[in-house]
Structure formats: C-alpha cells, structure tokens
C-alpha cells in the first residue's frame, strides 16, 4: 500500500527555509512515509505518541529534525503537520 504524503503549510514553510542540502535530506526522508508510515516498518526512527490526548506519530530525521504526522488509513494519506529542530521538539513535547 502506498500513501500520499501531504505537508501542512507550516511544515512546507519550515522546509523552504532550510538550506538546500537539509531540505533535500528532510524531503527524501518524508517520502519514505509513503511506503512505511508506522513504527517498526521500514527504515527511520518513528514512534507513536499521545500528545494532548491524541495519537500522533513522530519521525526523527538526521538527528537534527523531528517531523510530526498523522496517518489516515481511510484516505491513504500521511499528513505531516509539523517539522521542528529536534531540540525544539523535545522542549515542546518532552520526547
């Protein structure tokens, strides 16, 4: 099964503000969610979390960034809602 990977406008803006190499690395890793969005499947440091009472997923990318996303099975979509520097993600969510 393949999922469409969609970016929230804030996540897309975060990517556009990165240098070219970092943007390419992050986008390449996000594309992997198309085939393997769940932890334990495929490559990548992914984890299922409960944030503010809701299930969400996170993926660490290159030990520098963290992407938060939701999986919608009924639509075959992965929606990347937020991308942060890894330290900012740990401060904000405690993970």
pLDDT tens-digit readout, 62-74: 999 999 999 999 9
The pLDDT of residue 41 is 60
User: Has residue 50 got a pLDDT over 60?
Assistant: yes
Dihedral (CA of 78, 90, 51, 44) sign: positive
Asked if 82 contacts 13 with a C-beta cutoff of 8 angstroms, the reply is no
Residue corresponding to tokens 């996540």: 11
Domains and CATH numbers, the chain: 4-93 (3.30.2310.20)
Tell which residue, 93, 92, 89, 71, has the closest CA to residue 80: 71
Determine the length of the chain.
95
Rounded CA separation 75/87 (Å):
32
What is the pTM for the complete model shown?
Answer: 0.90
User: Has residue 40 got a pLDDT over 60?
Assistant: yes
For the chain, what percent of residues have pLDDT higher than 70?
A: 95
pLDDT band at 18 (very low <50, low <70, confident <90, very high): very high
The pLDDT of residue 1 is 76
For the chain, what percent of residues have pLDDT higher than 90?
A: 74
Rounded CA separation 35/41 (Å):
9
């Amino acid at each position: 099964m393949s999922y469409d990977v969609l970016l929230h406008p804030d996540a897309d803006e975060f990517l556009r503000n990165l240098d070219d190499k970092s943007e390419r690395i992050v986008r390449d890793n996000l594309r992997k969610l198309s085939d393997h969005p769940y932890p334990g499947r495929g490559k990548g440091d992914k984890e299922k979390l409960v944030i503010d009472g809701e299930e969400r997923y996170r993926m660490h990318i290159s030990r520098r960034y963290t992407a938060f996303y939701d999986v919608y099975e009924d639509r075959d979509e992965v929606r990347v809602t937020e991308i942060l520097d890894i330290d900012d993600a740990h401060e904000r969510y405690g993970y």
